[in-house]
Structures are given as structure tokens and as C-alpha cells.
Structure 1
Amino acid sequence: MSRPFPRWLPGLLLTAALPAIAHAQTQTEAPEYGPELQGFDYPYTLKHFAFESQGQSLQMGYMDVAAHGKANGRSVVLMHGKNFCGATWDSSIKALSDAGYRVIAPDQIGFCSSSKPAHYQYTFQQLATNTQQLLKALGIQKATLLGHSTGGMLATRYALQYPEQVEQLALVNPIGLEDWKALGVPYRTVDQWYERELKLSADGIRNYERSTYYGGRWKPEFDRWVDMLAGLNKGPGHTQVAWNSALIYDMIFTQPVYYEFQNLQMPTLLLIGTSDTTAIGSDIAPPEVKAKIGHYDVLGKQVAKLIPRSTLVEFPGMGHAPQMEEPAQFHQALLAWLNKTNPVR
């Protein structure tokens, strides 16, 4: 049975991690957005960085927000998760800018407002290289990285690849705190991921995120982000979006960073919502495997012991995105650590 996949496909999407979305039978009406999230309002001016990669002309959407008030001369780069975008950092951008930081929030290739090419070898090393090229073009030589979910895996890889350019590393409920394939989660082919992604609906996304990300709770402000993801997936570029999403899931599953946490040398902060149960492939894992993966109340403590200069801050009862669930509490903890570990410039 052949896969209905077009040979074209310019464009992209990268964000946190959505291990197994339950697809609801009914679909709530949601807006439709273009293949590069055209029509969706970003909280700050959206710019585009054009560059060459793997023989293709690509572009990354990004926000570059100056410090509000007295600038401290430091920059923070925000790395979104699989089912998120640079835009989902809106409250964090404001908090960091108000505290004097320049904030860069890119959409990775394959995600949101960025290109989604028909053919691309997705690796965390490639995405780190893309981001480093963006920062170089913006004149940023050193920065603090803040990565959420899949963005936590990317931020870890970036810090390992460019350690001299990373002053501090902060990881918010990063996925990759365990190696799912080594623990017995079955492999999905890219074609299987693609067929699964074609079926995404707003109701399915909302139900999955409510149960897995927010411990069964929901706030009205979360609906904007469901509409963002659902609108991208049901818009005119839905096959491009689904195909790139499938390639990205394969990257996440097959390229663990778990074994290299011990090599991180910069001050590292783990910000962990303890009720998070995110685990790639948990929906198809055997019961005995599913029962032992995705326990962030345990994973945060375990990985904190692996990272030499780590600090662990837990948010009891919070889910996969504490920066969105309780922004004030989250940013208080983040800014306190950033100030405490402020590198000598």
C-alpha cells in the first residue's frame, strides 16, 4: 500500500515532545494555518534567517527581543519542544526581557514558521549547527540556553557541540532523560509516524496534553496552543507538516543524549514538573515497559546526579510545561538561578 506523499515539500517544524497523541473521533473546529504557520500571530516581531543546508535554501523563523529596561549584556536562546513553537515561550520571553536579557526564540527547521523540506536528514547536530549559524549572524558569541521538551535534547546536544559558546544550560522537562528504545519501546518506521501524524485533531491533541502534560487539569489559555498545532496540521500544507514531523520523531527516538549528560561542563539547571509522564512511544509499548517509563519525579533526580554542575528544581504536581502552567513560580526559580550562576564576563 503506497504512502500518499508528495515529492515537493519546501518548509519545516521543531518543538517539545509529543510521545503518543490519542486521536479523538470528533474534531473541534480550529483555525487553519499555512505550512509555515502563516496566519498565526506571534507575540513579538517574527523575522527570518535564510541559509543553505544539505544543498537546500532554507529559512528559520525567529524572534529577537531586546532587553526591556536596563540591559545586562547577556543573551538567552530558547529552544522549543516537539509540539510547541517559539511563540509558546511568550511569557518566558517577557520575563527574561524584563530582567535585562536579550532573548532569541527560533523555530527549528521542520517546525512552525520555518522551512519543512521534502528531504532532510534530521539530526540534533544539524539543528544545533543551524542555530549556531543564526546566532553567529546575530553577533551572539556566547549565550545561555533554555530548552524545553525536545528542545531540551537539542540544547544538550548544542552544549556538547559548542561548549565554549554556552554560559549556562537550563532544561525544562526535557525528554531524553531515558533511552526508550533501550528500555524496550518498539520502533515505529517513518512511514508509520507519518500515517499517525496525518490523523492529528484538535480534540486528540487537547486530550493527550491534558492527561500527559497537565495531570488531568486544563486552563483556557492552553487552547491557543492546541489551535496553533492543530491549525498547522490541518492547513494546506498538512502533508508537508506530517512528513517533517515523522522525520523529527524518528530523530528523537533514535538519537539519545542520555549517555552524554556526564560530559556537560557548564552550570546546568533542571526544572522538572514531577507529574509529567511524557515518553516517546508509550502508546505502543508493552504494559510492563509502559509502566516503567516517563516518571519525571524519578528521572529528574537520576539525571541531576549524572550532570557534574547540576541544580535540580522540582515543581511538585506540575506537568510537562511548568513555564506555561505556572509562569510566575517558574520564572522566579529560573531567574534566581541565572543570577546565582551569572558567569564572570
Structure 2
Amino acid sequence: MNRSIKFHLLSLSLIGIVAGCATTQYPVNNMQALTVTEQCQGSYWQDCVAYPFPVQYAQVKDAKGVEWQVAYMDEYAGDKSTPETVVLIHGKGVYGGYFGDLMKALLTQGYRVIVPDLPNYGKSIPGNLDNPVTRSLDDTRSAIHDLLANKLNIDKASFLGHSMGGQWVMGYALEYPQQVNKIVLEASGGMEEFPTSVAGLPFFGDEQKDSYESWEGIWGSTLKKEKAKTAEDIVLFNYFKAKNPKTGVIMDSPSGYFINKTPMTDYVTHARQYMIDNSSKEYNVYAQTYIRDIYSMGVEVRVEDPLSLVKRIDQITAPMLITYGEKEPFIPTTIFSGQQSLRWDVIKPVYDKLSSKGNEPTVVIYPNVGHFIHTDIPEQFHQDVIKFLAGDRISGAEKVSAYKPPVVMPPEEVTVFFDKFKRVLLSQSKANIATFYADDFVENGYDKSAFLAILYSQMAKVKDYKVSLVKFEKDPNVADEYFIEGMVNLGTISVPFKEGSKVRKTSDGWKWLGNRKS
């Protein structure tokens, strides 16, 4: 056989191999427009908010016997009689509709995709208005398990959970391990432990589990603030903005949902905005559940609990993809956990626990991405999720085993400055405290006098002052000014320095500058 014929046959063989490995793309033609109507006569969630795919309803029961009406999307575009199934679990305060683009990406790959609204969220609100707001995450897990296993006859599925949904999925995998194939965690909670009491208040006390009154006694003021939010407050927060309470000036905020503005992020924003003036009972249940679920999450990860979710995480045997954005604004939850490094304090311990049991997770941290990865960079995230589910390697995975402690030591003279400030602060001498602040100090719109007034009103609660820094860097554009990042342990609570915080070296010693945001 001559060389040209051999080459031709080899080429045909290679083409056949490539064609055999190609993934069939299934058309998805029934995706609906994402719309939110500002005013509705009936139910807000049933009548005002359109989902990307048809919504079905099922009556299910949780482990306590409470009956719930659960709304869900269940789509499949392939041609197999028993397709692989992926279940998407939304985060706190949102709903399954925001997974529309991810659903389409998975459907084109031949997966069956099921997306429920957890009880008391989204379209699972209207049918449950008389059910308890005090339901736990485990209650919702057992309710969704009834849907999947008994109503939809799903023997096993892969699960993706976003934010609170990630914690939900981890708990589900511990409760129903035989039903879980693979796990994708997107900006997941549930990986750090909280004390039961913070600053003397039992934020995660047992007495709140079944008593709305006990819960409201601790969380009522937070709920009141949530319900006082205006449509403007919501859109500003969602896009990392805030209004200065003194001047009314719109400024950047370290917290928010969406770094990139898209039709999907506007869809989520409008759903929350328009809820305020529609179906007051539905709005009340939403707001109560949104704040309540801070407790629902925290009570599962208490430091004092020998069976906390964090302590049992190494019992999960399903392969796991852990993803976060580099600009993640909520995790670590410093005010409760006292942690400050996403990589070292959150990811590394979980990675080590799982790896020690032979289940090394894949970890990806995306640059210039916040808490909503699937809306900030949808195409990249979809690609990585699909690769992971298919068992393919994901480029850019973190080398978690090489992580090093992030704590940095500032110059000795700065450490001396912190120590002097601690002594003066604990002495509660207002005149001496003021000398540690530069005259041009600014912190989120508060000048020196306004900031000190707040400090003086709270300083009796300060029992300690220990600084732990993860950054101390000279500002290249300003002489003798230095950026600092980290947190301060005040004895009863730990708080982070505001983003962009600085100190200045002067002839009179070091001074606090604030974060310079007016």
C-alpha cells in the first residue's frame, strides 16, 4: 500500500474518531422571555414573574409531615429514555428562574434539568402562605426529596447549589448520599462555623428553631430594615452601590450581587423591586424567609455542635466542584465566623478534609467575579460545569495544597501604633482617641467628627483590639500612605477593615485615614 493511500485512510480514521467523540447538541426551542410585570391583580409570583421554562406544581411532605406546594421546572431536550439528571438549587432570596441560561446550556448537552423553588421562595410562596416560616433547611431538603424520589421517580442526580443552595446541597448529600451523583458548589455557604452567640446575643440559639417569637426577638430589627428597603435601595445594592445616608451621594459599596449588568440580573432585580407593592402577604413571607434563612444556615454550622455541617463535610463521597469569584463579597462571613481569607480560612480546610478521605475536590476561583458566578461570566461557568459533569479536566483549577497563610506582619512601628491605640480605646478617653485620627479622615462619607461620634457611642462594648492583617501595602500614588486589609477582634465580635482603608505616617506618628470614600 503506497504512502498516499495510507495517509488518506489514516485521515479518515482520525475523522471518525473525532466525530465519535463529538457531543450531540440538542436544540432548546421552548425557552420563554424573562419578564416581570410591575403590577398584578392576583398573585405576584404566579402572575407577575415569568420563568424561562414552563412551571409545574406538586404537593409534597417534609419529614415532619408538613405539606408543601412546590413549584419546579423539569425539562429535557434529548432522546434517551433514562437521561442523566441535574438538579439546580437556588440561593437565599432568589428563585429558580435565574438559572434559565444555565438550564439551556445543560439541556443542549442532553441532561434532564430540574429546578425547584424551595418552600417560601419564588413560585413556591403562593401555595404555602399558611405554612410555618420557621421551617428549617432540613425541612426543605426532605420536601424536595419527596418531589424528586417519589413524585418524579429520580433515583440519582447531580446537584448544583448557589450560595445558600450550596449549603443545602451539602446537607442533602449527607442525608441522601445514594441519591447524589456529583456536586457543583457556586459561591457556597456552609463551609465555615459560627458561634451560637455573637456579641452576647444568641443569634443561632436553639430556642428559635420552632418559635417565631423567639426568632423575631433576635432578628426583628434586621427584618424591619429589609422591609424598609426601597426600589432604589435594591438596585443600588444589587450593583455594588449605596447612597450616603448623610449626603445622598451614590458611592461604590463593597457588597452587592452583580458585577456585570445583564438582562438576567435586571430580571432578578426587578422581581425583588416590584414585589414591594404587590401581594403584601407574599411579600411578607418572602421577607421573613429571606432573613430567617440567615438563622437557618447558621444553626447548621455552629462551632459548639459536634454534628455541624462543617464537621461532617468529609463524609460526602460525591465528586465535588467548588467555585467562587475572586471578588466574593459575603464569604467568609467575617462578622459571625471571624474568618477573613476565602482561600485559607474557607476553602483550604474543606479541601483538606475531603482530600484526607480520598475525595479531592476541584476548586476554581474566577477573577473579576462576585457572588453570582453564573450571571457574571455565564459562558465560562457553563463550560466548566459541563466539563465537570462529563468528567473532563477543568483548566485553571486552583492548587489548593500550595496555599499559604495570608497573614502579613506590618513594620514594627505600625504594630506599636495598633498597641497604643488599643490602650487608649480601652481607656475610653475621647480626647486621646481623637489624636489617632487624621483631620482629613473619611470613612464611607463620615468625616472625623461624625465617625468619632459613632465610635464614642459604641466603645463601651469594646473589650479588646487585636489587629490581623492580610495586606499592608504602600499607596504608589500618595507619599506615606498605606493600604491595609484584615480585621479587628473587639473581644465580643470581629469586624473587617472597610475596603480601601488606609493609614498615614506623619511626624506625629501614624494616623487612621479611613477608606477615603465620601
TM range (shorter): 0.7 to 0.9
1:67 is the counterpart of 2:80? no
Matched to 1:249, the amino acid is I
Matched to 2:161, the amino acid is G
> Which residue does 1:89 correspond to in 2?
99
| Residue pair 2:58, 2:71 contacting (<8 A) in 1 also | yes
- Pair 266,219 (structure 1): closer, same or farther in 2 beyond 3 Å: same
1:148 is the counterpart of 2:162? yes
User: 1:246 Cα deviation (Å)?
Assistant: 3.1
Q: Which of the pair has more CA radius of gyration?
A: 2
Give CA-to-partner distance per residue, 1:188-239, whole Å, 9 cap, x none: 8242343233123333233323223457554454111111122234422322
Matched to 2:266, the amino acid is D
> Which residue does 1:266 correspond to in 2?
318
Q: Out of 120-129 and 317-326, give the one that drifted further.
A: 120-129
> Which residue does 1:277 correspond to in 2?
329
| Residue pair 1:267, 1:341 contacting (<8 A) in 2 also | no
Matched to 1:47, the amino acid is Q
Matched to 1:242, the amino acid is A
Matched to 1:340, the amino acid is G
Structure 1 counterpart of 2:382, from 319, 323, 331: 331
CA–CA distance in 2 between the matches of 1:89 and 1:215?
Answer: 14
- Pair 177,134 (structure 1): closer, same or farther in 2 beyond 3 Å: same
| Residue pair 2:193, 2:337 contacting (<8 A) in 1 also | no
- Pair 221,86 (structure 1): closer, same or farther in 2 beyond 3 Å: closer
CA–CA distance in 1 between the matches of 2:165 and 2:157?
Answer: 15
- Pair 260,341 (structure 1): closer, same or farther in 2 beyond 3 Å: farther
Q: Out of 132-141 and 48-57, give the one that drifted further.
A: 48-57
> Which residue does 1:252 correspond to in 2?
297
CA–CA distance in 2 between the matches of 1:332 and 1:244?
Answer: 33
Q: Secondary structure at the match of 1:307?
A: helix
Q: Secondary structure at the match of 2:122?
A: coil
Matched to 2:152, the amino acid is L
Structure 1 counterpart of 2:351, from 304, 313, 321: 304
User: 1:37 Cα deviation (Å)?
Assistant: 4.7
The residue correspondences of 1:118-267 to structure 2 (distance < 5 A) are 118-136=131-149, 137-181=151-195, 184=198, 187=203, 189-211=218-240, 212-213=255-256, 217-219=260-262, 221-236=264-279, 237=281, 238-256=283-301, 257-267=309-319
> Which residue does 2:57 correspond to in 1?
48
CA–CA distance in 2 between the matches of 1:32 and 1:251?
Answer: 32
Structure 1-normalised TM-score? 0.79
User: 1:38 Cα deviation (Å)?
Assistant: 3.0
CA–CA distance in 2 between the matches of 1:217 and 1:166?
Answer: 32
How many residues are aligned here? 308
Matched to 1:314, the amino acid is I
Give CA-to-partner distance per residue, 1:40-68, whole Å, 9 cap, x none: 11000011011244565420110001134
CA–CA distance in 1 between the matches of 2:332 and 2:273?
Answer: 19
Q: Secondary structure at the match of 1:105?
A: strand
| Residue pair 1:213, 1:276 contacting (<8 A) in 2 also | no
Structure 1 counterpart of 2:112, from 102, 127, 137: 102
User: 1:103 Cα deviation (Å)?
Assistant: 0.3
Matched to 1:96, the amino acid is L
CA–CA distance in 2 between the matches of 1:32 and 1:255?
Answer: 38
Matched to 1:157, the amino acid is G
User: 1:337 Cα deviation (Å)?
Assistant: 1.1
CA–CA distance in 1 between the matches of 2:314 and 2:175?
Answer: 14
Matched to 1:41, the amino acid is A
Percentage identity across aligned positions?
23
Q: Secondary structure at the match of 1:93?
A: helix
Q: Secondary structure at the match of 1:195?
A: helix
Structure 2-normalised TM-score? 0.54
CA–CA distance in 1 between the matches of 2:258 and 2:372?
Answer: 11
User: 1:263 Cα deviation (Å)?
Assistant: 1.5
User: 1:164 Cα deviation (Å)?
Assistant: 0.8
CA–CA distance in 1 between the matches of 2:142 and 2:180?
Answer: 14
More relative contact order in 1 or in 2 (CA 8 Å, sep 6+)?
1
CA–CA distance in 2 between the matches of 1:214 and 1:56?
Answer: 33
Matched to 1:132, the amino acid is H
- Residue segments in structure 1 that go unaligned for 5+ positions in a row: 1-28
- Pair 120,217 (structure 1): closer, same or farther in 2 beyond 3 Å: closer
Structure 2 counterpart of 1:316, from 342, 367, 373: 367
- Residue segments in structure 2 that go unaligned for 5+ positions in a row: 1-35, 204-214, 241-254, 302-308, 394-518
CA–CA distance in 2 between the matches of 1:93 and 1:334?
Answer: 11
Q: Secondary structure at the match of 1:147?
A: strand
Matched to 2:155, the amino acid is Q
Give CA-to-partner distance per residue, 1:279-319, whole Å, 9 cap, x none: 5976xx4xxx79844x4344334432232321112212211
- Pair 93,221 (structure 1): closer, same or farther in 2 beyond 3 Å: closer
| Residue pair 2:231, 2:273 contacting (<8 A) in 1 also | yes
Q: Out of 33-42 and 328-337, give the one that drifted further.
A: 33-42
Give CA-to-partner distance per residue, 1:46-92, whole Å, 9 cap, x none: 11011244565420110001134668720000000012211010011
CA–CA distance in 2 between the matches of 1:64 and 1:217?
Answer: 28
User: 1:30 Cα deviation (Å)?
Assistant: 8.2
User: 1:259 Cα deviation (Å)?
Assistant: 2.4
Q: Out of 202-211 and 308-317, give the one that drifted further.
A: 202-211
CA–CA distance in 1 between the matches of 2:352 and 2:268?
Answer: 33
- Pair 254,32 (structure 1): closer, same or farther in 2 beyond 3 Å: farther
Q: Secondary structure at the match of 1:87?
A: helix
Q: Secondary structure at the match of 2:182?
A: strand
